[in-house]
Amino acid sequence: MQITRCFRDEDLRADRQPEFTQIDLEMSFVDENQVMEVQEGFLKRVFKEALGVEVETPFLRMPYREAMDRFGSDKPDLRFGMELCDISDIVKNCGFGVFAGPVAEGGSVRLINVKGGAEAFPRKKIDKLTDFVKTYKAKGLAWARLHQGEMTSSFAKFMTEEEMAAIKAAAGAEDGDLILIVGDVKNEVVFAALGALRCHVAREMGLIEKGVYKFLWVTEFPMFEYSEEDDRYVAMHHPFTAPMDEDIGKLETDKTACRAKAYDIVLNGTELGGGSIRISVPEVQQAMFRALGFTDEQAQEQFGHLITAFKYGAPPHGGLAYGLDRLIMLMAEAESIRDVIAFPKVQNASDLMMDCPSPVDDKQLRELSIALDIQEKE
């Protein structure tokens, strides 16, 4: 294991900085289970020695698809419930186009049941929740409140009594509960909106207990994801991640069903780190390049050295890297990664202590053969 300083062009968030420290592990002749076992031992010792907290091992493991279906996130917070429920089959033929339309176009309609939420979220607060999910590209938020023996909702007039009863039963809703529903033609919008809403509601209701550490391995990530910008499939992680053994034949024939030997370690809804087993067989690496749209000539020109090295017998290898600052942030129960970094960058990525970035004189630029063409803002 090594500790490395990293510089990365990342969007600034509460748990991200452009300059940070990683705990990096690279191993040979290993599989996913061996990498995970080493990491669990490391984290168990760190939490015991630093916090006096006994961490139970082995950690829970959950495939990516299950994490998305149940929690709407590939880094779910397991300190509370409120799991997603797919009601697409219930509403696919209903008279409410907001529900039936997305299902007909290949999307889905899903809900979360907020136990005790009917009183905690009156209509004005529900309107704020609607604004919240819209930031995740959801078009709106349907709701149903079960309060004092009555059900009121934003969509009941479009549904039959049987359909409303089926939704209530699927949600496991009881008097005092609040059902929140999002539908969209894109499942990723439904997952993003409800996954974030689930955590937001839990914070609003004080459901997240302090001093509780819920670790989770998320495994079997998709090998590819579709890029609307590039209009093609790209590697979800990187083009050197090994596919699951049983999915090697799908690399060029069924990209949506191809899973990777990739894994993330998650703690309380935050990704601590991630890694993968790498490709070590030249034929598999060449198939991966073809799947990404490289011709054999392009692959040889850009990565020929790697393919040649594999022919000499590269060992199966893999690893994982943690964000050290992010780990400390969670252990300290800090609100932001900036709270545990000396002289952190601020929202616009500038360094206040070093007054950086700052002007550079023309002589320095000429020495480095750098020409500036800065457009003045109007």
In this predicted model, what pLDDT tens digit does every residue of 83-129 receive, in sequence order?
999 999 999 999 999 999 999 999 999 999 999 999 999 999 999 99
pLDDT exceeds 80 at position 16: no
- Identity of the amino acid at 116: G
CA separation (Å) from 89 to 93, 187, 195, 209, 349? Answer: 8, 15, 20, 35, 46
Give the alpha-carbon dihedral of 200, 13, 64, 219, to 10 degrees.
Answer: -130
In the block, which residue shows the tokens 């009121």?
152
Helix (H) or strand (E) holding 103, with range, is: helix 97-104
Element (H, E) at 306: helix 296-311
Please give the CATH topology (third level) of the domain spanning 85-204: Gyrase A; domain 2 (3.30.1360)
In this structure, of 45-54, 142-151, 179-188, 189-198, the range with the lowest mean pLDDT score is 142-151
φ, ψ for residue 231, nearest 5 deg: 55, 45
The answer to whether the pTM exceeds 0.95 is no
Q: For domain 2-73+212-339, give the CATH number.
A: 3.30.930.10
* pLDDT tens, position by position, 19-55: 888 899 999 999 999 999 999 999 999 999 999 999 9
- The domain ranges of the chain are 2-73+212-339, 85-204
pLDDT band at 13 (very low <50, low <70, confident <90, very high): low
Mean pLDDT over 278-303 rounds to 91
